[in-house]
Amino acid sequence: MTVTPSRPADPAAHERLYRGLRSRIMLGEVPPGKAMTLRGIAQEYHLSMTPAREAVRRLVAEGALTLSGSGRVATPELSDERIEELAALRALIEPELAARALPRAHFALIDRLTVMNGQIADAVERHDAVGYIRCNLDFHRMLYLRAQAPAMLAMLETIWLQLGPTMRALYGRVKRNEPPRHHRMILAALRAGDEPALRLAVRADVTHGLRHLTGPAAS
């Protein structure tokens, strides 16, 4: 009897699914505690179970999804202690990345960051939580790419990924009417070439945002 070999998985299909689901989680498009199924994920992306299973495996390893003993897949519901731990990591990593980026922060980059900060203001005005998170992460990522520290940036993106659903769920606790004021301090420090001020502004930006996640609801 001839045995027909199984069809090999399409690496490109798996990567598209992984990147798509990863982006949705990081941007807060999936709420915390949201249950999923491999079948549902595969159907949503019009793919087989194999790339869905592999993408979920990778996202579980990154802390973006949880997998129970019964096979239940969900986005994590972070405790206050876990949020504080991730916030502390951001406060350590992001000022260092910004400081490493400073020598390569030319005026054209600062101009692009200024435009991006305007896009954040537009998202705030539209009350677009996902758009706000996307533009805010893009602002920071654009600066940190100039640090030329890929391992450090990859570690930071894993932290952003784990915080994504929680950031979106609690976005309404901060009634924003303007872009983060610390971004203006970051831009001013970049223009002045002032590393201590830049470190201080980045750390303040990170801690000011994340403290709302564990404190009482904003009034």
Cα(69)–Cα(110) distance, integer angstroms: 48
DSSP letters, 44-101, are HTT--HHHHHHHHHHHHHTTSSEE-TT--EE-----HHHHHHHHHHHHHHHHHHHHHH
What proportions of the chain, in percent to the nearest 5, are helix, strand and coil? 70, 5, 25
Contact (Cβ atoms closer than 8 angstroms) between residue 201 and residue 194: no
Around Cβ 130, how many Cβ atoms within 10 Å? Answer: 15
Of the candidates 91, 86, 88, the residue with the CA atom closest to the CA atom of residue 204: 91
Of the candidates 112, 131, 216, the residue with the CA atom closest to the CA atom of residue 179: 131
Radius of gyration of the chain (CA): 19
**Environment class of 218 (CB within 10 Å of its CB; exposed 0-12, middle 13-18, buried 19+):** exposed
**For residue 71, what are the CA distances in angstroms to 56, 60, 159, 162?**
11, 12, 24, 20
Burial 153-177 (b: 16+ CB within 10 A, else e): beebbbbbbbbbbbbbbbbeeeebe
pLDDT at 175: 58
Q: What is the pLDDT along the chain (219 residues), one digit of tens a residue?
A: 443 344 445 678 889 999 999 999 999 898 889 999 888 999 998 888 899 999 999 999 999 999 887 778 999 889 989 989 999 999 999 999 999 999 999 999 999 999 999 999 898 888 888 898 899 999 999 999 999 999 999 999 999 999 998 887 766 665 555 667 899 999 999 999 999 999 999 999 988 766 666 655 433
Of the candidates 213, 84, 202, the residue with the CA atom closest to the CA atom of residue 144: 202
pLDDT at 218: 39
All domains in the chain, ordered by first residue = 11-74 (1.10.10.10), 80-214 (1.20.120.530)
pLDDT at 7: 46
